[in-house]
Chains A and B, each alone.
Chain A
Amino acid sequence: MTIANKKVLVAGMSPLAQELKELISKHGAQVLSLDQLDEHQDSLDYVVEVTNYNLEDKKRIIQQIDQALAARPEVPILTTSLAITATEVASWTTSPQRVCGFGTFVPLAERKLIELAPALQTEESIVKKVEAFVQSLEKETSIVDDEVGLVFPRVLSLIINEAVFALMEGTASKEDIDIAMKKGTNYPYGPLEWADQIGLDEVYAVVRGLYRDLGEERFRPASLLRKMVLAGRVGKRSNQGFYSYNK
């Protein structure tokens, strides 16, 4: 399948949005933004929504899209299920069968595979459509059960959360934590530099979402992670995270 000449709406606040727009237009589709929704509501082919940190914004955006496409329930809405389940996102809509979850982190160039998580309500035909859509972007897919953070974002976010606990407690310096995980156990990046690359707000959204939905102590976010997000130090994107980045 190809998405050449298809119309894809990309909406949402995650740093994934910009990278997805580039990737999708590279594969020949016309990328639209939220303010073009009304103009193209009769001809849109796919919707991708990627808000993670602010769930009120996410709900507002999803409902706006769902309402504009009320007459076209066959148009799939692919939404990030990093901080919330796809099932909950689907519950906000009037056509929940068209909503399917997915999740990954930037940079997309490093992801050979992207996970999909159908909601309880998702129709099989929609799953097939979004699978083909993601594969047309030259990414492999893996379908997992719908839970906050899917697999890769969940596991990595909890590794980062633990690294932040160790940093907060003064167990070791940030540099030594990063070196240790690369040289002692072959991680591709140290967890703190990795968090800076992904965006601390994205990582925090996953951990907070798991804690909110599953309520276990194992998901308690490190308070330093929360405070850094509140202070706007989200990593490379803001020139300041665990490390400083000069423009």
Chain B
Amino acid sequence: MLVSVIGAGTMGSGIALVCARKGHQVKLMDTNQSVLEKAQSFLQKILNRDVEKGRISESEKEKIYQSILPTQSMEQLADCEIVIEAVPERLDLKKKIFQDLSNICSEKALLLSNTSSISITEIAAGCKGEERILGLHFFNPAPVMPLVEVIRGMKSSEENVQKVVQFAKDLGKVPVTCNDSPGFIVNRIARPYYNESLNILGSRIATPKQIDEIMTKAGGFRMGPFALQDLIGIDINFATTESVYTNFFHEGRFKPSRIQQRMVQAGRLGRKTGGGFYDYSK
């Protein structure tokens, strides 16, 4: 199939790779030339490693690499059957892109957003052919994480939902379907893992180290909630909670933590800043 991915950042470059590995022709579009170059060297690096590990041959590598065509022009996407948008998480940006796509692409093209928290219904509103606009939410890193959430906007057609589910299966992913509600499935149901742990910390019931040990040893979770926040980035985690809280009209179950907010304000964001709930400076 002819697939295009808009935005060649963290998610877009990974999604392009997932598609190319399954034999799709991919147009990888980004307005920033240097991002496209970075994405290409990232793809080279991953594919070279695949060759080294004997997972693919040199010629297969070339074929996959050549099937990803970088471009800076939206007009180039006119013939694509599936478009996956992965630009930064801003409503105005995404709305503009879907408006443009709905005019440029054929009426049958499926237009999909990788948004983590913006309503698909809102992105689609006013576009030509709202029934073919859906969410296709990958998890980071896209080439590794098996899950994708297929999100049904209020006007998405069931036929198109099934088409996207099949597309995801053909990519080797595990698709689940859900309605357009804040945080979809994972980002919503996982909130208490972080929030309630922060709440427990706030009441001094246990320390972060203790809570992590309890959740892994008593609960069998792979990583404790505090070590995991440090890995994800405390700012990213806080932003997700805030967004779910706001979009649920301040439902108390999603209330963000003041401790977490202070950490963000202090710039203690986790591993990436050398310290979060734990110290990584040594």
A binding-site residues for B, Cβ under 8 Å: 104, 110-115, 140, 142, 144-145, 147, 150-152, 154-156, 158-159, 161-163, 165-166, 169-173, 176-177, 179-181, 183-188, 191, 216-218, 220
Contact = CB atoms under 8 A, between A and B. Distances in A.
A111 B218 contact: yes
A166 B214 contact: no
B139 interface: yes
A184 B192 contact: no
A181 B218 contact: no
Contacts, number: 143
Contacts of A144: 205-206, 210, 214
Q: Could you tell me the dominant secondary structure of chain B's interface residues? A: mixed
B205 A145 contact: yes
Contacts of A181: 185-186, 189-190
Contact of B149 (A166, A184, A218): A184
Interface of B: 139, 145-147, 149, 174, 176-179, 181, 184-186, 188-193, 195-197, 199-200, 203-206, 210-211, 213-215, 217-223, 225, 251-255
A229 B39 CA distance: 52
A184 B188 contact: no
6 smallest A-B Cβ distances: which pairs? Answer: A217-B252, A184-B147, A176-B176, A113-B217, A183-B147, A158-B192
A177 B149 CA distance: 10
Contacts of A169: 181
A163 B149 CA distance: 15
B179 A171 contact: yes
B204 A145 contact: yes
B196 A147 contact: no
Contact of B185 (A155, A158, A161, A176): A176
B184 to A, nearest CB: 8
Contact of B177 (A110, A150, A176): A176
Of A161, A170, A180, A185, chain B has the most CB atoms within 10 Å of the CB of: A180
